[in-house]
């Protein structure tokens, strides 16, 4: 009996010692909360007209890819795009549907709506955002969206 008890104590000690040096596992649920908080922050920045703040949500090599125009690269160009958007006025809402990934890169699938100052729906659609961990924070690495509304006809 003493040998069995001693074996259990030694085994428990070895397990405790080997677990001390391991890094904590990645928590996707916590990352989802961080991504959703970042989504709320960018919506808030845009509603306040802070296009520079919105551009700073992107990684150093981030890209914005929207309908009917080439990819927008560089924070200055992204800020310029969002500046034009904010001058039109209105609000953006984002709804995360699903995320997947690891501690370095997260993919987010979601829905967006854009409403004008008077509350009228200006656009709605879907998006995929790749989030990249940069300087300890999740930053938008690739941002692509497309509308669900029919194409305008002349």
51 falls within a domain:
yes
**CA–CA gap between residue 100 and residue 109 (Å, rounded):** 9
Tell me, yes or no, whether 153 lies in a domain: no
Beta bridge partners of 64: 72, 143
12 part of a folded domain: no
Q: Smallest Cα–Cα separation from 26: which of 131, 143, 106?
A: 106
Residue 88: per-residue pLDDT: 86
Cα-atom radius of gyration of the chain, to the nearest Å? 22
Given a cut of 70, whether residue 14 has pLDDT beyond it is no
- CATH value at residue 131: 3.10.450.50
| Residue 67: inside a domain | yes
Per-residue pLDDT reduced to its tens digit, 44-98? 999 999 999 999 999 999 999 998 899 999 999 999 999 999 998 889 999 999 9
- What does DSSP assign to residue 67? T
Domain holding 60, by residue range, is: 26-147
Is it the case that residue 16 has pLDDT exceeding 80? Answer: no
Q: DSSP state, 149? A: S
Bridge partners (DSSP) of residue 72 are: 64
Number of domains in the chain: 1
For the chain, give the percent of residues with pLDDT over 90: 71
| Tokens encoding 153 | 């006809």
Q: What is the mean pLDDT of the chain?
A: 88
Residue 18 domain-assigned?
no
- Whether residue 92 is contained in a domain is answered as yes
Asked if the structure places residue 7 within a domain, the reply is: no
Contact 121, 88 (CB under 8 A): no
Is 65 inside any structural domain?
yes
Task: Give, in order, the Cα–Cα distances in Å from 72 to each of 10, 29, 125.
Answer: 60, 30, 19
What's the pLDDT score for residue 50?
A: 96
């Amino acid at each position: 009996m003493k040998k069995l008890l001693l074996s259990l104590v030694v085994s428990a000690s070895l397990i405790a010692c080997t677990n001390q040096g391991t890094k904590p596992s990645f928590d996707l649920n916590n990352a989802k909360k961080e991504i959703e908080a970042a989504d709320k922050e960018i919506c808030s920045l845009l509603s306040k007209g802070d296009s520079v703040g919105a551009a700073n949500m992107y990684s150093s090599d981030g890209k914005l890819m929207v309908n009917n125009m080439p990819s927008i690269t560089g924070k200055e160009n992204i800020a310029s795009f969002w500046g034009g958007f904010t001058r039109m006025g209105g609000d953006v809402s984002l709804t995360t549907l699903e995320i997947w990934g690891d501690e370095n890169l997260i993919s987010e699938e979601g829905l967006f709506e854009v409403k004008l100052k008077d509350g009228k729906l200006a656009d709605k659609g879907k998006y995929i955002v790749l989030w990249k961990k940069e300087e300890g924070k999740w930053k938008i690495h690739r941002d692509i969206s497309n509308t669900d509304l029919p194409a305008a006809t002349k």
